[in-house]
Amino acid sequence: MKKKTVGQKRLERIVYTLLAIAIVFRFTQAYMDMKFRHSVEMGQRPVPNFDWRDFDSEKRSFASIKNKVVVLHFWASWCGPCRVEFPAMLRAAKQLGDDVVFLTIAGDETAEPAREFLIKAKNAAGVKPDNMLYGWDPMRTLIFDTFQTTAFPETIIVDEDMMMRRKFMGRVDWEDPEILRYLRSLKKPADTKKDIEDTSTQAPEKQDTAKEKVAEVEKPE
């Protein structure tokens, strides 16, 4: 076998050194990634699992709303912009149908003004959508402590994977076709959903049906 020259040996040494540096560097990086790996990837915002109460103080779980796009809306009856947008939101909910659920949480101190407003708003809108849920958070534990909402109204869009996609601060123009198109776009195609359901290993649990929701909707009245 041909003997290596001094130059070749030197070159080899340099290559090995560089290789060693690269390996050390890569391992350090991998270790750091592992140490600080997040359950949340950048750009993904999982909605925290929370309970909410309706106007009769009945406790409900957000997690029970499954495979739906959710419009999470924080409002109060004394808030001007909330009052303006509510009827339009009701009409939008009706238009969007069963695929999108509107969960509205009122931050009023007392329930009565909020109930009264809801009746008026439904009358003004001329619709009583089945896909709208009405919650009440007088201590603002959900509104403030969990979602850190500091000004009403505020709307958070949650997709079918329970990821928060967008937040609207202030009034939303629910008559704008763009917003309806956006909400529909979050709905996964039926095939994809089926795949997910098939692969799901979770035990089947009782889900809120549209009929149950209708009952809830009627309660405040």
Partner 1 sequence: MVTLMSELRSAVSSCLHWLAGPRVVFYALPWLLVLLTLGTLSQRYIGLYHSEKLFFGSFILWLGFVPLPGAYATLCFLSAGLTAKLVLKSPMRRRTLGTVITHASVLMLLLGGLVSALTREEGYITIFPQEVVSFVSDYHEREVTVIKDGKEYQVIPYTALQEQDKLPLKDAPFTVNIKQKCYPCTAEPLGEADLGAYGMAAAMELKDAQPGPDDALNRAGAMVEIVGVSKEQAGRYIIFESLAEPPVIKAGGSEYKLLMRAAKRSLPFSVQLIGFEQENHPGTVMAREYRSGIQIKDGELQWKETVSMNQPMRYRGYTIYQSSFVDDGEKKASVLAVVKNAGWVFPYISVTLLSIGLLLHLFMRKAKKQTAVAALAALLFMGAPEAQAQQPPAFDYDAFSHIPLLHEGRIKPMESFARALIKSMSGDKQADNATAMAWLAEVLFNPAAAADRPLFVVRSPVLLSVMGLEKRKTERYSYSELVPALTGQQDNIGRLLEREPKSYSDSERELVRLFEMTGLYSELANSFSLFTPIEGISNPLRAELKLPPEGDLNFYSMLRVRYELGEKFKAIVATKKNNVSSYTPLEQDIAELSYKLDSREAMQRFNALLRVVPGEWSDKEEWLSPWQVIARSEGSPRSAQLFTLWQALQKAWKTRDAHTWKELSGKLQAETTGAHGADAFRLALEVAYHAISPLEKSRLGYGITILLALCAVALQRRWLLTATTAALVITIAIHGAAILARIMILGRPPVGTLYESMLFVSLLAALCGLYLCWKREGAEGALAGSIIGLGVLIFADIFARDGDTLEMLTAVLNTNFWLGTHVICITAGYSFSLITGVMAHFYLFRRAMAMPHEALAEHYKLLQTLALVALFFTTVGTMLGGIWADQSWGRFWGWDPKENGALAIVIWLAWALHGRISGHLRETAFAAVLCFTTIIVALAWVGVNLLSVGLHSYGFSDAAAWGLPMFCITEIVITGILAMLSAQQYKAIEISKARQK
> Could you list the residues that contact partner 1 (CB under 8 A)?
6, 28-29, 32-33, 35-38, 40, 42, 45, 47-48, 76, 78, 109, 139-140, 143-151, 154, 164, 166-167, 169-170
Q: Count CB atoms within 10 A of the CB of residue 171.
A: 19
Q: How far is the CB of 114 from partner 1 (least distance, A)?
A: 14
Three-state secondary structure call for residue 130: coil
SS (H, E, C) 54-72: ECCCCEEEHHHCCCCEEEE
Three-state secondary structure call for residue 117: helix
* Comparison of 8 and 200: residue with beta carbon closer to partner 1: 8
At 72, the amino acid letter reads L
Q: How far is the CB of 138 from partner 1 (least distance, A)?
A: 9
Q: How far is the CB of 132 from partner 1 (least distance, A)?
A: 23
Give yes or no for a contact between 186 and 174, defined as CB atoms under 8 angstroms apart. no
Give yes or no for a contact between 132 and 90, defined as CB atoms under 8 angstroms apart. yes
* Comparison of 128 and 144: residue with beta carbon closer to partner 1: 144
* Comparison of 19 and 32: residue with beta carbon closer to partner 1: 32
Q: How far is the CB of 123 from partner 1 (least distance, A)?
A: 26
